[in-house]
Structure 1
Amino acid sequence: MNEYLSPIARNLPPSGIRKFFDLVSTMKNVISLGVGEPDFVTPWTVRESGIFSLEQGKTMYTSNSGLIELREELSYTMSHNLGVEYDPNHEILITVGASEAVDLAMRALLGPGDAVLIPDPAYVSYAPCATLAGAEINYVPTHAEDGFRLRVKDLEKAYTPNSKLLVLSFPNNPTGAIMTREDYLPIAQFVTEHDLIVLSDEIYSDLTYEGTHTAFASLPEMKNRTMHISGFSKSYAMTGWRIGYAAGHPDLIQAMTRIHQYTMLCAPITAQFAALEALRSAGSAKAEMVATYDRRRRLMVHGFRKMGLTCFEPLGAFYVFPNITSTGLNSEDFAEQLLQEEKVAVVPGTAFGPSGEGHIRCSYAYSTEQLQEALKRMERFVQKRL
């Protein structure tokens, strides 16, 4: 059957995260710091809203674009929190997670001959989605000495005449880096000068621990060039609900909706009602989760530095990205040997792009007790190699 597969599907590599954790599922007593999923349950008011919608018999399709009530609430929230106005009728699309929004945006924008600029390291789905759309990938390295922020000097080196789309993902998975308004301004100038479109995945925007998150679309002249993508999975512990959204120029939203209506048709109605309730009532629950992540973040950075590893301090998301080159191991070998010897699962940095070599990604969306035990085991492992 393999010979019948399309070349793109046949050659598409498995996720560097899922591939590694297939091995974890066969082992016992493993502490896993690999999957980027909150260890909290969805706030009760949100769960109750979903249950109540079912009790009311709301089990039908919604508009392809999603519930108008949810789009209106999102419009208000983005205006209030991000300083960007979006028309709920024409500029917002509700999707099956932020991941679908990324896929839709790339398929609506890209084709053979186009190229995508992807800051590296980056979330594992961007490059495969670009490949599935027929585009080429140009990685743009980011560096620990720059706080893993995107710099114009690196964009200039990666840019080609075929470059059409720039992906931004801050706060960043896997590094935890953020971009301030001042950091973004030269990027915005570069975007204008080179006539680029921007896909800004801001799924971790609420998990910013220093300063205030800046939406790229809020910069001067950037709204119409930017597809703003986010969702409810990380901020509200709603990963399994699969609910996200895209906001941008009406022409692009319309094109994405056309693809969406032939593939997903609409996001699940129960999840949409739950998301609406999250925006209306779960702010305090979200704040408590963020405060907990912040405490765990400090614990992890201190733990890695204490064991002798260089560790960039993440200022967003819920990942830490320590440098493990001092052990003499590459990222893949470090992760495999750590798992076998100490039963701790982490993700090799190379799962997130070429610049991830020499690092591992550890999620701190786990209990303090698990994190402390994992650090204890990792310190024992590292000390044997320093």
Structure 2
Amino acid sequence: MPAARVSQRISAIAESATLAVDAKAKALKAAGRPVIGFGAGEPDFPTPGYIVQAAIEAASQPKYHRYSPAGGLPELKQAIADKTLRDSGYKAEASQVLVTNGGKQAVYNTFATLVDPGDEVIVPTPFWTTYPEAIRLAGGVPVEVFAGPEQDYLVTVEQLEAALTERTKILLFVSPSNPTGSVYSPEQVREVGLWAASKGLWVVTDEIYEHLTYDGVPFTSIATAVPELGDKVVILNGVAKTYAMTGWRVGWMIGPADVIKAATNLQSHATSNVSNIPQVAALAAVSGPLTAVDEMKVAFDRRRKAIVAGLNAIDGVECPTPKGAFYVYADVRGLLGKEFETANGTARPQTSAELAALILDEVEVAVVPGEAFGPSGFLRLSYALGDDDLATGVARLQSFLGKAK
């Protein structure tokens, strides 16, 4: 039998569903179709001017035309440590920081460094699409713990306890959440963290949406709230969402010095240093004020309220009000199995994946189905797009989905 052309390890992972939906929407737009894309979690705002200017100036400096340390520019690592203390109260040294090619590499590096084959990682569900794939690439086993809309998509300690086995090594913790926008209260964060500490687990916490909370809801870092975790916590973060810098590709991980050193060794062979020019831009971002994100939050909050109201006006759709990030996670189980009029007759979608495909084909609105994040029956929509596009897209959804029989 001929050998497989692609390794089993790589063949087993799935394409990023969110990027796939976004790519398809952009391709259709390029072909002249008026597609409204709710797929990608990407602010529609430009990167603030002072950050762009820092990059322009850096590009003219020969020292940034050369290799730099694989773990990141020393001044950026220190600035990230300072910013983390400022924003979440967690004290770390520059030696505990690794600058990565976007938040995704921070996720990959972390699980590759911590996970041995067979180790289990508890993954609160719905989850961001990259987490389970990064865990599997490391040889680990993602253990999904699903929390539905009836509990605001927030897992309980009782659920976590039920998922615990002798193979469990890590708890993944994400608040605010992608894809649901849910935010754990300070009391819930402490309860979950104390549980993890009592079981001797590592906690990997993704804090990339730390500055995007609404209605006075606070962001709480589990690393700060639960010092009992000791040195068994890794923080993931980046500049993409806070500063509208998704394309600059700068993220980081913060953790114990030995873990960061090992992850830096991995990165030295995988990609070496992050491009120097974006690193200088990130330095300007994390060292500067939060004025830009405060301005963006005003728009996000307005869009959040509009999209929730618009979706909840559709029979068969239930959309909780998110308290963070810039996503809504709509429960569309009430629409599955119903009949929809289409250009070619009728259709009865049985899954949220089929419903999302139908919506794109019939009314040219791109959404991401729940299958990308866990169980079927849900749709994720990002409200980080412009107000006019949001209104048009929601109106199309109302018109099409509202006629289900």
Measure, in 1, the Cα distance between the counterparts of 2:52 and 2:352: 39
**Match status 1:326 vs 2:331:** no
Q: CA deviation at 1:282?
A: 4.5
Partner of 1:295, secondary structure, is helix
Q: Specify the code of the residue in structure 2 equivalent to 1:260.
A: Q
Alignment of 1:125-204 (within 5 A): 125-204=130-209
Corresponding residue number in structure 2 for 1:232: 239
Alignment of 1:159-308 (within 5 A): 159-209=164-214, 210-218=216-224, 219-308=226-315
1:45·1:281 contact (CA, 8 Å) conserved in 2?
A: no
Which of 67, 71, 87 is the equivalent residue of 1:81?
A: 87
**Match status 1:29 vs 2:34:** yes
Measure, in 1, the Cα distance between the counterparts of 2:298 and 2:368: 25
Q: CA deviation at 1:23?
A: 4.2
Which of 104, 107, 124 is the equivalent residue of 1:102?
A: 107
Q: Which moved more, 1:335-344 or 1:5-14?
A: 5-14
Q: Specify the code of the residue in structure 2 equivalent to 1:279.
A: V
Q: CA deviation at 1:2?
A: 7.3
Identity of aligned residues (%): 32
Q: Specify the code of the residue in structure 1 equivalent to 2:378.
A: H
Partner of 1:321, secondary structure, is strand
2:206·2:237 contact (CA, 8 Å) conserved in 1?
A: yes
Corresponding residue number in structure 1 for 2:13: 12
2:217·2:323 contact (CA, 8 Å) conserved in 1?
A: no
Query: TM-score normalised to the size of structure 2?
Result: 0.91
1:46·1:282 contact (CA, 8 Å) conserved in 2?
A: no
Q: Give aligned pairs, total.
A: 383
Q: Specify the code of the residue in structure 2 equivalent to 1:286.
A: V
1:2·1:10 contact (CA, 8 Å) conserved in 2?
A: no
Q: CA deviation at 1:21?
A: 4.6
Could you say if the C-alpha distance between residues 2 and 337 of structure 1 is closer, same or farther in structure 2, counting changes exceeding 3 Å?
Answer: farther
Q: CA deviation at 1:312?
A: 0.8
Q: Which moved more, 1:152-161 or 1:367-376?
A: 152-161
Query: TM-score normalised to the size of structure 1?
Result: 0.95
Measure, in 2, the Cα distance between the counterparts of 1:21 and 1:298: 23
CA RMSD, aligned part only?
Answer: 1.5
Measure, in 1, the Cα distance between the counterparts of 2:20 and 2:74: 39
Unaligned runs of 5+ in 2: 337-348
Which runs of structure 1 show a deviation greater than 6 angstroms over 4 or more consecutive aligned residues? Answer: none
Q: Specify the code of the residue in structure 2 equivalent to 1:36.
A: G
1:228·1:246 contact (CA, 8 Å) conserved in 2?
A: yes
Unaligned runs of 5+ in 1: none
1:64·1:260 contact (CA, 8 Å) conserved in 2?
A: yes
Q: CA deviation at 1:20?
A: 4.0
Measure, in 2, the Cα distance between the counterparts of 1:383 and 1:350: 23
Measure, in 1, the Cα distance between the counterparts of 2:289 and 2:388: 26
Partner of 2:70, secondary structure, is coil
